[in-house]
């Protein structure tokens, strides 16, 4: 059952809702993302306040709503976004839960059926904090998120609060936290977030594991040895369709027994099974900007063989739901992360690192002090602007305790097979 406010809590909640809204300058500073238990608890109480007031309603089904159009359901969208705080025009409903109480107000929009500019801004804000494609259009995915009830969101935040309280951040001077369903990686220095990177994680059928480790190596201009599973499921079908695929992608077939290169024209890909190919050969992609691992990867030894890496497919970072990989984590701005880590190594700096990354020779650089890294599974968190973010339960683990979630993903996946 959802965690709903007990009767003895209703009066205090109503009193809080009637308090005057403080200005932005009066707000208490919230820790850098991904926030902490206190910030998440405050938003849980705001959600409970919305529940006390009757919830935030829903939007009837219908065709996609676009800016500039008129539709009777526009009024329902406007009311729904006011209740959650995404459309704030200082109406009597008071501050919402998606923003801090002193958030900048959006100029009042039409109260009629026109999908105006103010409403488009609010829709975009709602989409951004729910991990949706930010296009300002109320399509099926946005409509579904709008129609998640407040009591469901209360349950989601309460469960994440339990997980957050069980989380133990590494106390070292540097550490990295990757939030899988949030599609973000946070770099912490002395307990404060100094970099936030959008990431791409594993698909539902090839999930990214929950784990802890330490980054030991930065690998510049990496080669890519195609894993057996990716070869069987992705690359061999591609070779059967287009034998020129190897040359176009600077890939070489090598014999497992000798390591010698094989002329692909001598192989019958259609007659060969994946098991036969994997038993006799493997495929290696040369370093370069089109390499599946991009220009850099970050190695933290773990039983799942997962790692962080760059990617040539930068356009995918613009998507809201970024679950496209085979288990490893693609990092936007991977070179910027390398810029921060390489100066830890004597004789290395960002300039030398970028030059090596742009080269054609794979170079391994060992960090003198490994940097702790954790992957976590948080579908609700608060950013540095005190905005509540709510993500889909990507792998269906939201209601499991942290230890059970970890075991579920490990059992499901076993070994990550990384690609770009």
pLDDT digits (tens, 9 = 90+) for 19-28: 333 332 233 3
Can you tell me the mean pLDDT for 29-47?
78
What is the 8-class DSSP label of residue 138? B
Please, which pLDDT band fits residue 30 given cuts at 50, 70 and 90?
A: very low
How distant is the alpha carbon of residue 366 from its chain centre? 27
pLDDT digits (tens, 9 = 90+) for 298-312: 999 999 999 999 999
Q: Residue 6 above 90 pLDDT? A: no
265 close to 233: Cβ distance less than 8 angstroms: no
The residue assigned the tokens 């070179």 is 335
Q: Residue 206 above 50 pLDDT? A: yes
pLDDT digits (tens, 9 = 90+) for 114-142: 999 999 999 999 999 999 999 999 999 99
pLDDT of residue 167: 83
Which is nearest to 182 in space by CA: 195, 171, 196, 194? 196
Q: Residue 363 above 80 pLDDT? A: yes
**Mean pLDDT over the full length of the chain:** 84
Q: Residue 412 above 90 pLDDT? A: no
Please, which pLDDT band fits residue 94 given cuts at 50, 70 and 90?
A: very low
Q: Give the whole-number percent of the chain exceeding pLDDT 90.
A: 67
**Whole-number Å distance between alpha carbons of 326 and 203:** 6
DSSP string, 116-151: -HHHHHHHHHHHHHTT---SS-B-HHHHHHHTS-HH
pLDDT digits (tens, 9 = 90+) for 58-82: 999 999 999 999 999 999 999 999 9
Fold of 170-223+289-413: L,D-transpeptidase catalytic domain-like (2.40.440)
pLDDT digits (tens, 9 = 90+) for 257-313: 999 999 999 999 889 899 999 999 999 999 999 999 999 999 999 999 999 999 999
> Domain boundaries in the chain?
35-153, 170-223+289-413, 228-284
Q: Any bridge partners for residue 188, and if so which?
A: 175, 193
pLDDT of residue 401: 64
pLDDT of residue 411: 39
Please, which pLDDT band fits residue 383 given cuts at 50, 70 and 90?
A: confident
Which is nearest to 43 in space by CA: 133, 103, 1, 92? 103
Q: Catalytic residue positions?
A: 309, 328
Can you tell me the mean pLDDT for 335-348?
96
Please, which pLDDT band fits residue 188 given cuts at 50, 70 and 90?
A: confident
> What is the length of the chain?
420
pLDDT of residue 169: 73
Can you tell me the mean pLDDT for 177-205?
90
Alpha helices in 130-199 (DSSP H): 140-146, 150-166
- The reply to whether 170-223+289-413 shares the fold of 35-153 is no
Q: Residue 395 above 90 pLDDT? A: yes
pLDDT of residue 417: 63
Fold of 35-153: Muramoyl-pentapeptide Carboxypeptidase; domain 1 (1.10.101)
The pTM of this model reads 0.82
Among 248-262, 275-289, 330-344, 391-405, the minimum mean pLDDT is found in 391-405
The residue assigned the tokens 């993500």 is 391
């Amino acid at each position: 059952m959802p965690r709903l406010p007990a009767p003895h809590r209703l009066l205090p909640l109503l009193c809080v809702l009637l308090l005057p809204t403080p200005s932005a300058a009066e707000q208490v500073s919230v820790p850098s993302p991904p926030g902490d238990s206190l910030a998440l608890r405050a938003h849980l109480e705001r959600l409970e306040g919305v529940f006390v007031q009757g919830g935030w309603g829903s939007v009837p089904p219908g065709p996609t709503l676009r800016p500039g159009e008129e539709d009777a359901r526009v009024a329902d969208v406007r009311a729904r976004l006011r209740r959650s705080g995404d459309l704030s025009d200082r109406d009597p409903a008071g501050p919402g839960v998606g923003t801090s109480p002193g958030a900048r107000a959006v100029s009042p929009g039409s109260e009629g059926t026109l999908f105006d500019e103010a409403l488009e801004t609010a829709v975009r804000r709602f989409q951004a904090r729910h991990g949706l494609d930010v296009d300002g259009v109320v399509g099926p995915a946005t409509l579904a998120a709008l129609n998640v009830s407040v009591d469901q969101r209360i349950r989601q935040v309460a469960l994440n609060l339990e997980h957050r309280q069980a989380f133990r951040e590494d106390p070292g001077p540097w550490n990295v936290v990757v939030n899988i369903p949030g599609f973000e990686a946070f770099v912490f220095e002395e307990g404060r977030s100094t970099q936030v990177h959008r990431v791409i994680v594993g698909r539902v059928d090839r999930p990214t594991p929950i784990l802890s480790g330490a980054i030991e190596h930065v690998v510049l201009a990496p080669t890519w040895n195609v894993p057996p599973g990716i070869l069987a499921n992705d690359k061999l079908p591609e070779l059967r369709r287009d034998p020129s695929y190897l040359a176009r992608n600077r890939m070489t077939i090598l014999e497992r027994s000798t390591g010698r290169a094989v002329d692909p024209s001598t192989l019958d890909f259609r007659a060969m099974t994946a098991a036969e190919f994997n038993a006799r050969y493997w495929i290696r992609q040369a370093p370069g900007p089109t390499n599946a691992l991009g220009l850099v990867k970050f190695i933290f030894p773990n039983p799942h063989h997962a790692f962080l890496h760059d990617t040539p497919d930068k356009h995918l970072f613009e998507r809201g739901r970024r679950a496209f990989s085979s288990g490893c984590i693609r990092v936007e701005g991977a070179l910027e992360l390398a810029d921060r880590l390489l100066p830890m190594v004597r004789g290395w700096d960002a300039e030398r690192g970028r030059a090596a990354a742009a080269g054609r020779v794979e170079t391994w650089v060992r960090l003198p002090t490994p940097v702790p890294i954790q992957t976590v599974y948080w579908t609700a968190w608060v950013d540095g602007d005190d905005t509540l973010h709510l993500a889909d339960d990507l792998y269906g683990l939201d209601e499991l305790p942290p230890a059970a979630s970890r075991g579920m993903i490990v059992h499901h996946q076993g070994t990550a097979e990384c690609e770009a």
